[in-house]
Amino acid sequence: MSSHLPPRGSRKPERQGQQPQPQPSKPGEEPPLWAPWYGIGLLAAVKRPFSKYTDFSGRASRGEYWWFFLAYSLVVVVLYAIFGILGIIFGVINANSLGNQAMAENVMAPPGFTAVKVLFQIIFVVLSLGLLLPYLALTCRRLHDANYPGPYFFLGLIPLIGPILLIVYLAGASKPEGARFDRPR
């Protein structure tokens, strides 16, 4: 082994003006909020973005991003399931009270279901607006961890190919070069 190489596990000397390179946290230890948390669990991954609600700097591990995405997706599926069940219930109630002929004319919007529909839409809009900023910030930090600039988020707006590219970037492995986006506090 060459004598000019540093010993295994030692840090590279930092250049003047360069950000310090964060070290991975020890197992079972929560890293500071500015650092990515590798090996994070579901509950911590759901809570953590709300601690950094509008913080677009720093990085987020794949676990932080995908656990949050899974939890959000499950909430949306549950809300749609509840909405569907209520639609069926109101549809059956109306079919029994109005008769089959009247129900056939009212299939798309049974009476009484409009209030439930409006309530569901209000809940969904409030939930979506409440999660928009944490999701955008988390996505930006995840891109940073894969060493891509945060504005790459807008690639998702390009029809067809944009969302595919964004998913590939978000699913990419963490890269040490992404530490350039860290802002230790």
* Burial category of 162 from C-beta neighbours within 10 Å (exposed 0-12, middle 13-18, buried 19 and up): middle
Residue 22: half-sphere exposure toward Cβ, Cα within 13 Å? 26
Q: Which pLDDT score, from 0 to 100, does residue 5 have?
A: 43
Report whether 170 contacts 137 (CB < 8 A): no
The domain segmentation of the chain, as residue ranges, is 60-178
Q: Which pLDDT score, from 0 to 100, does residue 144 have?
A: 94
Q: Which pLDDT score, from 0 to 100, does residue 13 have?
A: 45
Which residues in the chain land under pLDDT 70?
1-28, 91-113
Chain segment 117-127, per-residue pLDDT in tens: 788 889 888 98
Q: Which pLDDT score, from 0 to 100, does residue 117 have?
A: 77
Report whether 36 contacts 59 (CB < 8 A): yes
Q: Which pLDDT score, from 0 to 100, does residue 20 have?
A: 44
Q: Which pLDDT score, from 0 to 100, does residue 183 have?
A: 82
Q: Which residues of 14-50 are buried (b: 16+ CB within 10 A; e: fewer)?
A: eeeeeeeebeeeeeeeebeebbbbeebeeeebbebbe
DSSP state of 35: S
Q: Which pLDDT score, from 0 to 100, does residue 92 have?
A: 59
The whole-angstrom distance between residue 24's C-alpha and the CA centroid of its chain comes to 22
